[in-house]
Every structure is written in C-alpha cells, then in structure tokens.
Structure 1
Amino acid sequence: MNSIHPTHNLGMRFGRGGGSNPSDSDAVDLRELFRMLWRRKWIMIACMVIGTVLSAVMVSQVPPVYTSVAKIMLDPRKSRVIADDAVVAELDLSEQVVNSEVSVLKSNVLVERVIREIGFERLEAMDPANAPPSLADRAKEQIKALVADFRPEPAPEGPALMTPEEARMERLIWAVRRNLAVYREGESYVIGIRVENESPLLAMQLANKLVDEYIAQQLDGRRNTAEQATAWIEQRVEELRDEVEVDEAAVAEYRANSLMMEGGSLDTASLQLAEINNQLMLARADRVAAEARYSQITSTIADDGITAVGNIVTSPVLETLNEERLGLMRRDALWADRYGVNHPERERLANELERVDADIEREVRKIVDQRRSELEIARIRENTMKESLDTLEGRVIEFSRNSIGLNQLERRAAASRQTYEQFLSRLTETRTQEQLQTPDAKLIERAKIPGSPSAPRPKLMTAMGGVAGLGLGIGLVLFLELTSITFRSVGQLERETGLPVLASIPRGNLRTPLSAYKHLLKAPYGIFAERIRHLRTALLMRGKCVQRPSILVISSVPGEGKTTTTVALAQMSVMAGKSVIVVDCDLRRSAMQQAFGWTFKHDLTDFMADRCSLSEAIHSDPEIGFDVLAASSANPLAADQLSAEWLQLTIKQLKKAYDVVLVDAPALLAVSDALVLAQAVDTTVYLVRWDSTRRGDVERGLSALSEMGIKVDGVVMTMIDPKESAAAYAKEYVYNV
C-alpha cells in the first residue's frame, strides 16, 4: 500500500452554467461555423461533384438551341396629312396598350398565319409528333411495359374532334409559342420578338415572319375598317340628302302660310319683348334708387332735423352756405376766448349764423321736393313699361301658339341639314384616309441568322450545377448539425445541463485504461495529460474544502470513458504527490481488472461478504502509483447488496489512509448502482462523450440524480476531437521532459 500524504484540499465552488454568458446566447461564432463546415467538407465536396456531373450529363443530352431576335417600335409620331379625326383611331401608347400589343404578338391567331406562310413542310421538324422520345419518355415507356400485364384494356376512343391537319396545326402552334418570347424593352415603345429553335435559319425566319405578319395584319385591319366606313357613309349621305330636301320644302310652305294669316312673325315680337323687358328693368332700378334716396332724406329729417340733410346731400349752394357757416363759427370761437355772448360782435355773428341756417334749410327743402318729384316720375315710367310688357307678352304668346308647328319643322330641317353636312364632310375624309392608312408599328431591327447556339451553355450550366451541389451540401451539413441529438461543444453542454464543464478531454489512441496510463507515463505534459491535470485541479479545488475528497465518476451509458478517465485522474493525482485509491464499483463488468490483468487474492466482493478485511481486499501493484479496490470478475449478485450506508463507512475508512478516493461507477441508465454510490461520496462528476452521448440520455441521467436529491458538481466532455476544443491550443505549452 502506498504511503499516506495528508494534505488539505482547497476547493472553489463554481456557479451553474458559469462558463456561458447569457448575453452571448444569440451570438454567431463564425469560426465555429467554418470549423463545422470544414469538419464535414467531404459531404459538401461529394454533393458538389454529384451536381457537376449531373449538370454535365444533362447538358450533353440537350440539343443546341439558336436564338434570333427581331424588334419593332410602336410609333406615336404619325404624319398629319389631314387634321380631322381618323376613321381608325391611332394607338394611345399607354402601358396597357403596349402590353396588349405584346399579347397580340403571342396570340395563336398570328402564329397560325405565320405557320401557313412558312408552310407545314418547312416546320416538320418542330412537330412534337415527329420528335424522338426523350430520356424521361423512354423511362415511362419502360415502366409501362413492365406493368402492361396488370393494366386494364384501354377504352375505345370516341370520334375525333379535330382533323389530322387541325391537330398538326395545334401541335405546331404550341411548339412555336413554347419557344417564343415577346417582351417590352424597359419603359420604351420597343417590343422584342425572340425565337428559339434548333435550326438557326428557321429561328430567323420565324422571328421575321412574325414581325411581317403583325405589321401586315395591322395595315389590313385598318384598311378594311376604313373601306367599310366609307361604304356605309356613302349610303347614309344619299339617305340624308333626300330627308333635307323634304324638310326644307315643308318649312318654306308653313312660313308662307303664316305670314299671310297673321301679318307678322314671332321673331319680331320676341325682339320687341326683349327690348321692353330691358327698359322695364332699367325703370325699376331707377325707381328703387329714387325710393332709396328719398327714404334716406325723410328718415334723416325725422331723426336729426332738416338741417342734418345737408350732410348727406350736396349742391353748389349748400357747399357755399356750409363754408360760410364754418367761417362764422371759427370767428365766433375766436371772440368767445375773450368775450361773452352779449358782446356786440358775437351777437352780430350769431345773427349771421341764423341767417345762414335759414338759407340752408330752404335749400334742403328744395332738394327734398326735387327727390320726391324724381320718385313719382320713376314710378309712372315703371308702370307704363309694365303695361306695354303685358300687352306684348300676350301678342308673343299668341304668335308662339301659332308658330309651334313652324318651329318643329325648322328644327327638323336644321338637324337634317347639320347631319347631312357632317356625313358629307366625313365621307371626304374617309375617302382620303382610305389611301393613307399606315400601321402603328414599324420594324427597327430585322432578325439575323445566329452564329452560335444560345443554349445550352455547358461551362455555365456545369458550374451552376456544382454551385447548386455545393449549396445543397452546405444545407445538408447545416441540417445534420442543427438536428444533431448529441453534444458538440462545451457551451452547448453547459446551456443544456446548467452545470459547469470542468474539463474537455481529447480523444487519442487510448483504447483501454492501461493504454491511457502508459500514455501519461510517456507524455506527462502532453495534451491529454494537461486536460486531466485541469480536471484534477478543478476537482481538488471545489468549494466543499474537503480535506480527503471522495470523487464519483459516472456517465449515462457505457463507453463514455469512465474507467479511462478514473485511471488517468488517479495517476495525475499521484504525480501531484497524493496517495490515491481507485474503487471499481462496476461489479457487473469489472473493466479495470480486465484492462490491467491483475490477479487478486481477495477482492471487493470478498470484503463485502466478510471473507477478508478491507486492507486484504486492496490490491497494490508496485508498477503503478495508486492502489485498487475492485472485483476480480463480474458478480451481479454482489451489486445488488450495495447500500449507501455500507459504502459511506467503507469510503470513510479509505479516506483515513488515502488523500483521494476515486470511485468508478457503472452506467447510470444501464443499472441503478450509480444512484447508490452517489449518496456515499463527496463529489460527483458526470461524463458526457463528445458527439456520441444522446441529449435525452444525459437529461434522463441528471433527472434521476436530481430526483434522489444528489447534486452533480460538474460535467466532463470526453473523447472530444482535439480540433474542436481548447486542447488544440495547448500544443504551445507542451514541454519536452
């Protein structure tokens, strides 16, 4: 047995999830993303190669296609030979009109005219019925042949709806329109016609013929419309000429009879009525004005006296008297400053003022009488105009009653003549326009024979296939990563478990606990040794400040490196000068005894059965630096006898002799022994294998411990890829000793 080195274990408590920063939970680690893509680079490369090969194969199966383009412009700048409206309205080139013309160029009516112009024989190669079956069609035929025996007999076909020629025309129209593109160039009035065909000559002919037929169709339509309009207008003019002659003869006869019977006309009476009506309006306005002036004077006399009228009316005499009166008042005001009212000069001035006021009153009365006379005259004139107007209105009414028939005849004759003149003028215009019809579009670029195929483009399509394959590969990698059910990073493990990650142990060629032990002896300062040393420091510095700690190493399922980690931790503690004992409590497999090949005189099961003492059951190997308490073989019955109380007493005895007691437990989800062992130790460490242990297994294992009230002090990620952990940066600190 190793000598005992009593030491004090200084621990530090770590908070849950202390390694992660909640504020950075939404951050994206680009370096981690690139490492993830690089780790699965072969998937992306394979997808890219497959996409490139498939694109190359597909392109090789596609026949070359040639493209020819012709262009027309809808011309709003028309020559105006005549100024009147055209028989066929010109296009108002709005966006809707241009789009409508684009639809006309793609219509099956225009395409049919083009096909008939070129001829069926020239377009025979475009007929889908003559095309060789494609790869997909051949595959369909093979499938149909395989299931032909299981397919019911086809129903007899009914009578054909189209003749063979009509069916061929429909197929050719479909073939031409499928490879036809009509587009508007930006916001201009230019329309492009693009035709694709396997024959460069046929592509040019189709594009040019479409343009020619479209322009010819426009011109023919406008001419036909103008000719039909001219013929109809000529017929209508003849009919209107006869109607005008009849209506005008009826008007002349009625007017002659009216003059003979009444001796006058309605027009003369109407003019007189209008004149008298205007004079009545003027007389009424004069009377209203006279009333207003007289009413103003009378109201002023009633309210302020007759002398106040001088302020609202004027005359040369009144103006002279008012000026004289103002002069007398100013002179009296000067004398009033020094003398009283009894002064002779002031009395004389007062007499003068009385005389002037009397003169003003006499003048005002004259003006009032004058205004009264004006009012009377205005009323008499208005009444006279009313009487004359009433008399003339009676005469007009009489004339109107007698001339109703004449008016009707005149209106009818006027309307007939106006319509006749309009149609006669329109006939002249249509005859002129019939010879001046021009299409609304003109050819600005004729299609030419293409010199090289426009499709397929092998290099571009192959490159696009490779890019698409690469994109698919990246998507597949991201899908695999995002749907992963294992842990691939320390931060992810901390967030999911809420526990601190004490260490991340890299993987290596450490297939057994013995190989791990030998590796530590060979490279005590290598990457693996440094990660174990990091774990040892974290465990010995935990917050309980237990002088001689007992540490339990558990995991969810087998194969997560519990025994290897326990042996490495024991050896690293020995290198730190600690006395260590490893208790292998996996009584169902006894992995440590099998790995080292020890031969026990007494083992753990003998101690449990009281067939030996504790010191006799402990195995000391002089070639290793720590002691072992393990079973020599699998003994499931002994595992059922484990109890927390017995283990606590045993570990207490061991802690009296050893600085560190390491307990290797069986898989938590496989057997329930780990739940018993966890109740007897000071520290519990939970191992999770990188990219292997399922998240659900870890969650169930931690939940089982939590339900038993057992606290897990931390987790350790084992067998991690050195490129994916901080161990990748530890190479700078590896010493050669």
Structure 2
Amino acid sequence: MTLQQFLLILRARYKIALLALLVTVATAVVVSLLLPKQYTTGAAVVIDVKAPDMVSGMILQGMMAPGYMATQVDIINSDRVAKTVVKMLKMEQSAAIQQQWQDDTKGEGQLADWLANLLQKNLDVKPARESTVININYTAVDPDFATAVANAFAQAYIDVNLDLQVAPARQYATFFEEQTKEARAKLEKAQQALSDYQQTHGITSADERLDFETAKLNETSSQLTGIQGQTTDSQSKRLNAQSDTLAEVMQSPMINGLKADIARMESRLTESSVNLGKNHPQAQRYAAELSSLKAQLASETEKIRRSIETSYQISIAREQQLKGALENQKKRVLKLNKQRDELNVLRRDIESAQRAFELVSQRASQTNIASQTNQTNVSVLNPAVRPTLPSKPRVFLNTLVAIFLGTLLGIGLALLLELKERKVRSAQDLRDALDLPVLGSIGRATHLLPGKKVAA
C-alpha cells in the first residue's frame, strides 16, 4: 500500500475514523470526570551515611555500600513498617474497617496483614538520584488520610530502623553480660589461688625474700671460699710442722728470744769450759741453763705446732659446716625460685583474667549503651503536607492519551473496513486488480457554474 492509497482510504472513510476518535476522547473524558479524585502527598527522609556510630565513634563502612539505599527502600516497603503504620494510626480499632475486612476476607487471616497490604498498594517509595534522600509518597481519596499515612510511614521507618539497630545490640548486651560474669568469676578464682598459695607458703614478698636468700647464699659461698683457703694453708703448715722454717716459728718473738739466749748461753758455756773446765760449777750451771733454754724452746715450738694442728682441725670443721650451710641455702634458693615461678604463673593468670575481664566489660558497657540508644541516622527532611489539588484522575493527560489512541483506533478501523470491502479508488488500484495497463483516466465531474464554459 502506497501513501497515496492510504490517504485515499482515509479520505473515503474519514467519518468512521473521526467517529472513533470522538467516541474514544469522549469516553476518556467522561470516565476521568466520573472517577473519584485521589490525592497524593509525600514525606522526605534523609539518611546520614557518614554519621559515626554513637557508641564506638566509628563510621560504619556498610552504610557506604551501593546497595545500602536500595535496602532502605525495601525496609520502607516491608510488611513490618506497614504493620507499624497500622498500629500508629490505630486502624484496627475502626469498626468500619473491621466490617470491610469481614466482607472482603470472611474473617480469614489477620486484620493487620490485610490493612498492611492495602496500604502498600498505594505506597510509592523513590530514592532521590545521587543523594541520600528518600521520598515516601502515598495516594488516597481523602487528602487528610493520605497526609497522615505518608507521615506515619516516615515515622514508622525511623522507628523500625532504630529497632533494627538496637535489637542486635540488646542481644549482644545479654551475651556480654553473661561473659562478664564468667570473666569476673575467673578473675576472682585466679586471685584466690594466688592468695591461698601465698598463705600456704607464708610468702609476703617473694622477690625481696629471694634477694635476701640469694645474698645470704653468696655470703656463705664467700665464707666457704675463705675457709677453704685457710684449710689449705693450715694443711701446708701441718705437713711442714717439723721444720724450723715455719713462719710462725720464725716470727715468734719468744722463740727468737730463746734462740738468742741459747746462743749466748752456748757462747758462755764454751768460754767457761775452755777457761774453767767442764766440771767447774759455773760451767755446769751454764750447761744446766742451756738445757733449760733448749727445753723451753722445744716447748714453745711444740705449742706453735699444736696451734697449727688445732687451726687445721677447726678449718676442716668450719669448712664442713659451711658446705652443709651452702647446700641448705642452695636448696632454699631453688625452692624460692620455684615458688617465685609458680607465683609468676599465678600472677600471669590474674593478668590474663584481668585483661579478659576488662575487654569483655568494655564491650558489655558499649553494647549496653547501644541497646538503650534512641538515636538513628535517619531524620525527616520534609513532612507530608495536605494536598489541595488532586493527583488523579489527570483529565488533560488522559485526553491527550485518548486523542492518540482514538486516532490510532480510527485509522485501524478504517483500514479494517477497507480490507473487508475493497474498492477501486485510484488508477493504481485498477491496475493492481486487473493486471492491465491503464490507457487513461477521467477526472471527477464538477458542477458547471453560470457564466463559465467547459474547457475542451
């Protein structure tokens, strides 16, 4: 079909197409005027995704995720928010609503669920582009009801959002409270174990006691070293006790004096024996004195030897005593070291229990504060206001749509009738129908007007 044929068909059947257009437009206008007026109003809420957590002070990275705003839209459209709106507006208490529910559902199901579904049908939630603002629009026949529902949805969303934040914190608070009690019990048990150990072993200050016993051990060891040196020296002198070259013998003033007296007496005895003879009384007296001096010298020398022997025996006994004392002191120091190690283990247990208790107590305090918070990152930006003009029906828009659809319907109806009753409306139609060449065509006859001639 060419454009010329299409235009010829429309010209021939323009009345039908025009009638279809007029009927369509008239129907749309009448229906639009008869439909009840509906009013749409909306509230806007803003979400502060960069607001820090009220307890920890940290910015939650989950709020920065791309799907966060979509999640908030789904929350507003959820049954939970709708049921909260029903409770806020006390719709369940209306006798008319209860009767309507009985008529529609025959009493099956829950009234709150039925009302929530009705509210969700007229709810329109749209997030603003490239911002964190969400528009909550609601449409109803009554403008006051639409305003109340829109504001109720905004407030219900804030309440549900807060409850979603607080509910996990309450669960965590209960959990950490129990953990705090267990951590406190472990800490008290560790402290009691340390106290019992100190009382059992009589320990007041393990470090000071260990330092004292260690110093005493070192002192005993030094004394033993000194006694061992004395014992070695006494043993050496004891082995050389028969020698006159002992230092004690050579350094004794009495022995040296006796030796000098003996030397003088020997000199006198020799001189007397030469001058007076051995049997002379004076020579014999000198001899007796000389014997007495030698006996006295031998006695003094023996005393020194016995003194060396006594010193040796005393050193041996003292050395054995110090060895025993040193061994006992070593055992005491080792025992104290063991006690100190056990005390350190008990103290580390206390420190570990203390750290665990402080950590759990801090978390418990944070979750307890979070469970009692009444702040959220959502706030109402613009509350819904009562609309003065209806949003539906849109008479002008419906008329434009009816004109467009009526035009299409009229053209379609004209073409349909043309296909059912095909007529020759041009030379092209005749040529297509007979498949013969057209030799000529006679134009449409026109009425002759007075004073004009027909052209030859």
Give the TM-score band, short-chain normalised: 0.5 to 0.7
Q: How far is the alpha carbon of 1:236 from its aligned partner? A: 0.2
Separation (CA, whole Å) in 2 of partners of 1:122 and 1:424: 46
- Matched to 1:446, the amino acid is P
Q: How far is the alpha carbon of 1:74 from its aligned partner? A: 1.9
Q: How far is the alpha carbon of 1:221 from its aligned partner? A: 3.7
Q: How far is the alpha carbon of 1:232 from its aligned partner? A: 2.2
Alignment correspondent of 1:233: 176
Unpaired segments ≥5 residues, structure 1: 1-27, 134-156, 257-407, 510-521, 524-733
- TM-score with structure 2 setting the length: 0.55
State how 1:84-483 maps to structure 2 within 5 Å.
Answer: 91-120=62-91, 129=100, 161-162=108-109, 166-167=110-111, 169-243=112-186, 419-434=356-371, 436-481=373-418
CA, structure 1 residues 432+131, in 2 after alignment: closer, same or farther (shift >3 Å)? closer
- Matched to 1:44, the amino acid is A
Separation (CA, whole Å) in 1 of partners of 2:347 and 2:414: 95
Alignment correspondent of 1:36: 9
Separation (CA, whole Å) in 2 of partners of 1:90 and 1:128: 49
- Matched to 1:199, the amino acid is D
Separation (CA, whole Å) in 2 of partners of 1:199 and 1:118: 15
CA, structure 1 residues 486+227, in 2 after alignment: closer, same or farther (shift >3 Å)? same
SS in 1 for 2:67: helix
Q: How far is the alpha carbon of 1:238 from its aligned partner? A: 2.2
Contact 2:92 2:98 in 1 (8 A): no
SS in 2 for 1:92: helix
Separation (CA, whole Å) in 1 of partners of 2:148 and 2:369: 36
Separation (CA, whole Å) in 2 of partners of 1:32 and 1:132: 58
Separation (CA, whole Å) in 1 of partners of 2:125 and 2:33: 28
- TM-score with structure 1 setting the length: 0.36
Matched, 1:67 2:40: yes
CA, structure 1 residues 34+172, in 2 after alignment: closer, same or farther (shift >3 Å)? same
- Matched to 1:462, the amino acid is T
- Matched to 2:381, the amino acid is I
1:256-311 CA-to-partner distances (Å, cap 9, x unmatched) read 9xxxxxxxxxxxxxxxxxxxxxxxxxxxxxxxxxxxxxxxxxxxxxxxxxxxxxxx
Q: How far is the alpha carbon of 1:505 from its aligned partner? A: 4.3
Separation (CA, whole Å) in 1 of partners of 2:417 and 2:182: 89
Contact 2:46 2:380 in 1 (8 A): yes
What's the % identity of the aligned pairs?
24
- Matched to 1:476, the amino acid is L
- Matched to 2:455, the amino acid is N
Alignment correspondent of 1:54: 27
CA, structure 1 residues 122+484, in 2 after alignment: closer, same or farther (shift >3 Å)? farther
More helix as a share of residues: 2
CA, structure 1 residues 430+121, in 2 after alignment: closer, same or farther (shift >3 Å)? closer
Separation (CA, whole Å) in 2 of partners of 1:60 and 1:241: 76
Contact 2:101 2:107 in 1 (8 A): no
Separation (CA, whole Å) in 2 of partners of 1:51 and 1:132: 36
SS in 1 for 2:131: coil
Length, aligned pairs only: 308
Separation (CA, whole Å) in 2 of partners of 1:484 and 1:95: 61
CA, structure 1 residues 251+232, in 2 after alignment: closer, same or farther (shift >3 Å)? same
1:331-354 CA-to-partner distances (Å, cap 9, x unmatched) read xxxxxxxxxxxxxxxxxxxxxxxx
- Matched to 1:186, the amino acid is R
Q: How far is the alpha carbon of 1:67 from its aligned partner? A: 1.2
Higher relative contact order (CA 8 A, sep 6+): 2
- Matched to 1:77, the amino acid is K
Alignment correspondent of 1:45: 18
State how 1:623-662 maps to structure 2 within 5 Å.
Answer: none
Q: How far is the alpha carbon of 1:177 from its aligned partner? A: 1.9
Contact 1:490 1:504 in 2 (8 A): yes
Contact 1:128 1:171 in 2 (8 A): no
Contact 2:39 2:142 in 1 (8 A): yes
- Matched to 1:104, the amino acid is I
Separation (CA, whole Å) in 1 of partners of 2:98 and 2:393: 21
Q: How far is the alpha carbon of 1:206 from its aligned partner? A: 0.8
CA, structure 1 residues 211+415, in 2 after alignment: closer, same or farther (shift >3 Å)? same
1:167-198 CA-to-partner distances (Å, cap 9, x unmatched) read 4x444333322222112222422211111111
Q: How far is the alpha carbon of 1:419 from its aligned partner? A: 4.3
Contact 1:127 1:171 in 2 (8 A): no
CA, structure 1 residues 419+118, in 2 after alignment: closer, same or farther (shift >3 Å)? same
